[in-house]
Amino acid sequence: MSHFIRERQERRLTILEGISQGLNHTEIATQLGVNRWLIENDLKYMRTNGDPKLKEAQKAQEQIRVKRPSVASERNERFQSMTGMTFQEKSFRNMIDFNRHALMKILNSKNQHAAIMSLPKSIRKTLKRNGIITGRWHKCEITLMALDYLFG
């Protein structure tokens, strides 16, 4: 057996154990003292060969992740308790406040669609992603929720 195959077999057990404990690739690599890319390469090799132990370890990992609350939801709950609003609401308000000048320019124009289309594409994408404008074909307009915040 070649040296590389032996090393891969030795890492395999630690990788499977780490996955079943819910560790990510970086944590497993740190545990082994190797580069993260080597771990990902070994995992790719195991997936390609259909390693049954890998599938079992991934099922155990899913069970652990379902039981453990996500970090994002904990942060969102803490942020909401401090400010009274979620991250999404806060980012929505920030986007409207930041782009207030452009939004007022759109509202004062005769044709909202033409005014929106005259904005740079990056700004249009950001406004659409945050729910400030609609992106319908030939009918782009400011959403009711954005209008409520602007005039409310």
Boundaries of every domain in the chain: 3-67, 85-151
Q: What is the mean pLDDT of residues 119-136?
A: 89
In sequence order, the β-bridge partners of residue 142 are 133
Average pLDDT of the chain? 88
Give per-residue pLDDT as tens, 76-122.
888 999 999 988 899 999 999 999 999 999 999 999 999 999 999 99
CA-to-CA dists, residue 63 to 4, 57, 66, 67, 70, angstroms? 32, 10, 5, 6, 13
Residue 137, pLDDT above cutoff 90: no
Q: What is the mean pLDDT of residues 53-77?
A: 82
- Would you state the pLDDT for residue 133? 92
If pLDDT is split at 50, 70 and 90, which confidence band does 1 have? low
In this structure, are residues 149 and 93 in contact, taking their beta carbons and an 8 Å threshold?
Answer: yes
If pLDDT is split at 50, 70 and 90, which confidence band does 147 have? very high
Question: CA 57 to CA 42: how far, in whole Å?
Answer: 14
Question: CA 79 to CA 90: how far, in whole Å?
Answer: 10
Task: Indicate the length of the chain as a whole number.
Answer: 152
Topology at the third CATH level for domain 3-67: Arc Repressor Mutant, subunit A (1.10.10)
Residue 38, pLDDT above cutoff 80: yes
Give per-residue pLDDT as tens, 15-37.
999 988 888 889 999 988 899 99
User: Which tokens is 63 given?
Assistant: 């069970």
